[in-house]
Structures are given as C-alpha cells and as structure tokens.
Chains A and B, each alone.
Chain A
Amino acid sequence: MRTLRFLVNKLNSWSVLSVIFIVLILSPNIDILIHMFTKPNENWLHIKTYLLKDYIINSAILVVMTGVFCTLAGTIMAWLISAYNFPLRNFFKWALILPLAIPPYIAAYTYNGILDYTGVVQTFLRNDLGIQVNPRYFDIMSIYGAVFIFTMVLFPYVYMITRAFLEKQSASLIENARLLGKNSFEIFIYVILPISRGAILGGATLVALEVLNDYGVAAYFGVQTFSTAIFKTWFALGDIDSALKLAALLMLSVFGIVLLEKILRGRKKYNLTSKVRPIIRKQLKGAQAFLAVFICFVFFSFGFIIPTLQLLQWSILTYEKILNIYFIQLMFNSVWVALVASVLIITISVVIANFSRIEDNWFAKLISKLTLVGYSIPGAVIAIGVILFITQMDHQLQWLYKMIDPNSITLVLGTSIVMLLFAYVIRFLAVGYQSVESGFDKVGKKFFEASRMLGKNVTQTFIQVDYPMLKPAIISGFALTFVDIMKELPLTLILRPYNFDTLATKTYEYANNEMVHEASIASLIIILVSLCAIYLLYKLGDKEKI
C-alpha cells in the first residue's frame, strides 16, 4: 500500500518527463560503451597495431602540454591581477578573458595565414626588409603549433576560475605569511598555489576537455588525434565498428581525466563562508610594473588582438565577394538551429531542475548530476553515438513511416535536422542546466510551498511563481547555450543534413580549401557573438559579488 501511495505521490508530469529526458540523453553514450565489447574486425586489429599508439601519444601530448602551459599562464596572470596594481590592470582584468571568444579552429587557420609564405610576416621580411628566410621556420602546422593555438585561446579558463577564487580569499592569509618573513615569490609558491589548487585544477580540466573535444585544429594541422581518427575511420574507411571502439576509448579517457581531477582536488575545501577582507593589491613600479604589463600584453595580443586584426584585414579584402544572399542564408541557418536547440535545452533544464528541487532525494540528485555528463564527452563521440542511436530508432519506427507514407525512405530522422538538434542537446545541456539550477537555488523552496498551500499545483506554481523569478537565470542560460552552439564545429560538421551549412561549417570549409581570406567574415561574426556572451558572463559575475 505504501508503495502505491509513494507512486501516486511521486508520479507527475515533471518526474516522468525528467526520467524520459535523461534516458534519451544517456542512451547514445551507453550505446557506445556497449560497442566497446563487440568482436573486433580486421580494421581494428590494423588500427590497434599500427595507429592507436600514435593517436594516444598525440592526444596525450596535446592535452598535457596545453594543460601545463595554460595552467602556468592562467595562474600567473590571475595572481598578477588579484595581488598587484600596475598600469592598465583594470583593462587587462577583463581583456584577458577575450581570447575565449575565438574558437580554436578559427585561431588555427588565422595563424597559419599570418605565418605562411604569402602571409603578412614572411611578406614583410621578404619585401620590406629584404630578408630571405627558410619558410620551414614559420610552419605552424604541427603538433606544437596546435599546442600554441590551444594555449593562446584556452588559458582564460584557468585565469578566470583562479582569479575569481583568489578574489574571495582573505587578506589575512597573505599578511600573515608576510609577517612570518616570506617574500612575494615564496607566498605565491607556498600559500597561493596550494590554496588555489582546486580552482586551478578546475580550469585545467576544462582546458583538457576542450582539447579532447577539438576536431578543427587537429584536422587542419594534420595531427592524428582520437577525434580525427574517429572521423577518418568512419568516413574514409567506412568502418563504424572501429570508429565506435575509438569513441569508447576516448570517452573512457575523458572519464579518467574527470576522475583524476576529483582525486587531485582531494577532500580539502577552502571555501570561506564568512565575509572576508579582500587582498589589498601591492603597487608595482619600474621594471616590475613593465614586466607585468608585458606578460599580460603578450597573451592578450596573441590570444585576441593579432588574430582579430588579421581577420578584419582579410574581411576588408573579401567582403564584396562574400556578403551576398548565400551568406545571409548561412547566418539564418546558424541562428535558427542554435535558437531551436537552446529552447529545447532550457526547457529540459527547467523540467529536470524543478523536479530535482521538489524531490530533493538521492534519485533526483543523480538525475541532476547526469545532465552534466554530455559536456565532458567530445563532439566526435557524441556524434557517432547519436548516429547509431537515431539509425536504430529509424529502424524501430519503420512501421510508422510506412503507415504515413508507403514510399517512405528508411532513414527519416537520420537524414533530418533532428539528429543535429539531439546532439546539441546532449552536449550543451550542462551549460543551460547549471544556469537554471543556480536560479532555482537562489529562489529556494519557500515561495513554491506558499503557492502549493494557496491551492496551486506544481505546474501552476511554476508558471505563476517560479518562472517570473527565474527569468534572469533562464535568459543567461539561454544566451550561453546559444553562443556555444553557434561556435560548435565537430557535431555540426558530421550531423548536419545534406546541403545545410552554418557559419561555423562554412568557415571550416573555406579554410580547408585554402580560402582563408573568405572565411574571415563568418569568423568575425562568430567572435562578435561570443564576445556578447562573455560580456554577459562578466556582468553576471559582477552582480553576484554584490
């Protein structure tokens, strides 16, 4: 009887929908893991014997080197900005976030354009200075070039998280260390680094996940990584089974990284709940001030100014040719597909977050945690999982298709935009969800309970009470997902329907066809939209401090 009461009490549209959404989102990923254990074919033996080692080594070099460089650069600049005053500090404080607006694949082809034989650097040396240099010295299209690109556009992850953390730390920590006779360098090594460990690791993990997710940079530079290998095995060799095995391995390594982060983070938490006196910044003068400005300026220039200026110059050269009706169609495609996917993501986020707030038990917490899974899974893995899943669905639904139209093709969902939208939802649900969930956290449960006591059910309460209060969180969640989707490359590249191009895919296509100049305007639009989102994030962060 009690079970029946439990079921009647708990079964409502919010809980049922939450479970359905999570099952749908997890299914493609579980499909991949299951395929890891299927019988390997000849191709796989070939891959395993001759190629897999390279994929692993290359991916590891990219992740480790980028991780180390980003951690160094991000932490040093976070410390400079939080602990010192120097000329232009306030400008660099937010300017150092801007490189995040440039998707790595755009940075990759822009730098290659700058440095190649006809690029601005070699032309300047040759024509203006009369110096003949070996073009090989300027070849960025290697694994180390890729590390450079990733470092320059991804270091802000570490910078942002570490700076936000340091800003919340108490001045007394540093003052005590100073009174105990430590100099600035020692304080940085013995106090700041250990207490910021969690924040730095959090940033570094995001960097590692972004590197593993990348397809554009590695493919453009010809570096064999897991992601490029998945594409190649699948498209060039037509071997979906082996591609699935590679995807499963990549997924496991991602879980490994996330687990490693948890272990390294340890149990220590240095969260200070009470109000603290913030760190008082020390004034830097002379050579020290110059050095601080120099470091910030170098990273800001390489991460943002140089590629943006180059893209601007190229766009002036090509705008007459590019800006036509076809380009408007591209923009329209990018916008509507991002719009639809963002609406879906926010709707699902709201349903699950509300369910998890109301129920507040282990099951609801688990469902809430599972929404975050997709964000750590690389695009190539999600893509292959989604294709497999949707193809299976199409076969299951044959009877329905035949009933509606006897001449129906086999793959109905599989050739439609549904596949791409589904993949976006899996990959970016975490972005929208975190925003919506933090909104629910702020609103709390008391208004919900008050409304229930005044005779409104869960859905009526959501519409009349929760939604008006959640609006800011919903809008920011929507904006962040929208931008992430507009920038996205690997999923869009594989899963888009035939003849469907977006700004991101066209940019990549132009660059791949040696038409880097033509790619500039689409790239600039993507960067501009991303800048808007960064501004929004920055503003929201500021508000929270108050």
Chain B
Amino acid sequence: MFIEIKGLCFRYPKAPKAVIEDFSLTIEQGEVICILGESGGGKSTVLRLVAGLEVPSKGRIRINDITMVDESVFVQPEKRGVGMVFQDYALFPHMTVAENIRFGLNKMSNKEKDHRITQMLDLVSLGDYKKRYPYELSGGQQQRVAIARTLAPKPSLLLLDEPFSNLDAHLRGKIREEIKIILRQTNITVIFVTHDEEDAKSMADRVVILKEGKIIDIADPKLVC
C-alpha cells in the first residue's frame, strides 16, 4: 500500500455542509486513479488536501508510510514530494519553458539540472521550445510543459486537476493518448480528477465516483457507464 487516505473530512469556515465527508482510499504504487464527479462535488478539494494546500478538519493521509496529515501532524506542501498539474497549468509567465522546469530542481549541479530539463522536454516532445515563454505556446504545449515541470523533481505522486478541460474537443483525444504514454513511461502513481467519463475510461486503473463529497463507488473503468 503506497497511499492511505482515511476518514478525510473538509469544510470551509461558516459553510453549512462539508465539502468532503469521510473519504477513505488506498492506492498501490504505480496505480492511476481517477476521481470522477460533477463540478462542485469536491473532486479538486481531495487533490488539494493530498497536496497540502488545504488542511482537513478530520482524517489522515499517509504517503509511502509517512504521515502527511492527521490530528497532530501537518507536513507543508513543499515537503511532501507530491507533484500537481493545475487546471490552468499555472506556468510562471516571467520564466521561459526551461526556467519553469528548472524551478523545481533543487540540490543538483547546474549540469545535472540541464540534463534533466533536456530529458523532460524530450519526454513531452518539446525539445525545441526551451527558450519560449508560456504565452508563445499553444494550450496543448503549455499543458505538456506543466507536466514536464511537475515530473522533473521526480515526485512520488502526481496529481492532475481536470487535465483536459482547457483543451479543444478535437485535441483532447490526441493529448490524452500522449499523456497516457508519458505516465506509463515514468511508472508514477497518479490521482487525476475529471468530470469526463471518456478521460476515466481511457486512462485510469480504478475510478472513484464522488458525489456531494462522498464516495459512492470505486469501480473498474470499463464498467463505468
């Protein structure tokens, strides 16, 4: 067991209802988990809780046998070794593609960093785009840079927040396949959230169906709908 989430609850101050209620899930190393649900159903909140960007009101998260959060512990997001690709990518606009990827590389010599940047850009097939700024890239290219940036520091877990929602319909299928290949190549554990069943079917090993903050089913993607 690589990730253990137990009894997770989250509510915003003064909100009458909890956004997440009693969310429990275990994930094995290398597994790709999809959280499927309608918008506003608390999917992204689960990712933010795992990432450490929100503090749960109850519950426990353990990654690789280390407690990230429980009643008495809270590990800051930068110390968790978790990578996250944001819905709108959040590429730093004042940095080039290479600088964006370099940003997350710590404790490495410059030579090693350069090598890693080249390696990541080759992985996402953007080798020639090193010196471009984010605004000079298409939506699909920006997303691939965001994935490269997140994977560069070798996180133990990758979180993807609605990874395809900002892409045109005709690009979706193509990019989904590309991302799938990239993820398989790196053999990384992934949690991604989406409201699109197609995403779930084509990429996930298991699908968690979330409704109004509660898990209503954990299923094989082929059996979803």
What 0/1 readout, one digit per residue, does chain A (458-473) give for beta carbons within 8 Å of chain B?
A: 0000001100110000
Complexed CA–CA distance, A455 and B78 (Å):
4
A191 to chain B, nearest CB (A): 38
A8 to chain B, nearest CB (A): 7
Would A449 and B71 be within 8 Å (CB), given that A454-B149, A464-B103 are in contact? no
Q: B residues within 8 A CB of A2?
A: 71-72
Q: A residues within 8 A CB of B83?
A: 453-454
Complexed CA–CA distance, A449 and B51 (Å):
10
Contact between B72 and A455 (Cβ–Cβ < 8 Å)?
no
Would A465 and B77 be within 8 Å (CB), given that A4-B72, A453-B51, A454-B149 are in contact? no
Q: Does B92 contact A (CB under 8 A)?
A: yes
Count residues of chain B with CB under 8 A from any CB of chain A: 28
Would A447 and B53 be within 8 Å (CB), given that A5-B73, A361-B13 are in contact? no
Contact between A455 and B153 (Cβ–Cβ < 8 Å)?
yes
Q: A residues within 8 A CB of B91?
A: 450
Q: Does B76 contact A (CB under 8 A)?
A: yes
Contact between A450 and B106 (Cβ–Cβ < 8 Å)?
no
Complexed CA–CA distance, A119 and B97 (Å):
67
Contact between B76 and A453 (Cβ–Cβ < 8 Å)?
no
Complexed CA–CA distance, A269 and B115 (Å):
56
What 0/1 readout, one digit per residue, does chain A (306-323) give for beta carbons within 8 Å of chain B?
A: 000000000000000000
Q: Does B104 contact A (CB under 8 A)?
A: yes
What 0/1 readout, one digit per residue, does chain A (3-19) give for beta carbons within 8 Å of chain B?
A: 01100110000000000
Q: Does A446 contact B (CB under 8 A)?
A: yes
A447 to chain B, nearest CB (A): 5
What 0/1 readout, one digit per residue, does chain B (148-173) give for beta carbons within 8 Å of chain A?
A: 01100100000000000000000000
A515 to chain B, nearest CB (A): 52
Contact between A454 and B72 (Cβ–Cβ < 8 Å)?
no
Tally the A-B contacts, defined by beta carbons under 8 Å.
66
Would A453 and B77 be within 8 Å (CB), given that A446-B86, A468-B94, A469-B94 are in contact? yes
Contact between A452 and B86 (Cβ–Cβ < 8 Å)?
no
Contact between B92 and A465 (Cβ–Cβ < 8 Å)?
yes
Closest to A461 in B: B78
Q: B residues within 8 A CB of A9?
A: 55, 74, 76
Would A455 and B90 be within 8 Å (CB), given that A5-B71, A5-B73, A9-B55 are in contact? no
Q: Which of B55-97 contact A (CB under 8 A)?
A: 55, 71-74, 76-78, 82-84, 86, 88, 90-94
Complexed CA–CA distance, A449 and B78 (Å):
10
Closest to A443 in B: B93
A465 to chain B, nearest CB (A): 6
Contact of B72 among A5, A450, A464 (CB under 8 A): A5
Q: A residues within 8 A CB of B150?
A: 453-454
A196 to chain B, nearest CB (A): 34
Contact of A447 among B52, B73, B90, B106 (CB under 8 A): B90
What 0/1 readout, one digit per residue, does chain B (1-26) give for beta carbons within 8 Å of chain A?
A: 00000000000010000000000000
Residues of B within 8 A of A (CB): 13, 51-53, 55, 71-74, 76-78, 82-84, 86, 88, 90-94, 103-104, 106, 149-150, 153
Top 9 A-B pairs, shortest CB-CB distance? A454-B104, A450-B90, A1-B72, A452-B77, A446-B90, A453-B84, A468-B94, A9-B74, A455-B78
Residues of A within 8 A of B (CB): 1-2, 4-5, 8-9, 361-362, 446-447, 449-457, 464-465, 468-469
Would you mind naming 27 contact pairs between A and B with Cβ atoms under 8 Å apart?
Answer: A5-B71, A8-B74, A9-B55, A446-B90, A449-B51, A449-B53, A449-B77, A449-B86, A450-B90, A450-B92, A451-B92, A451-B103, A452-B52, A452-B53, A453-B51, A453-B78, A453-B82, A453-B83, A453-B150, A454-B83, A454-B149, A455-B106, A456-B78, A464-B103, A465-B92, A468-B94, A469-B94
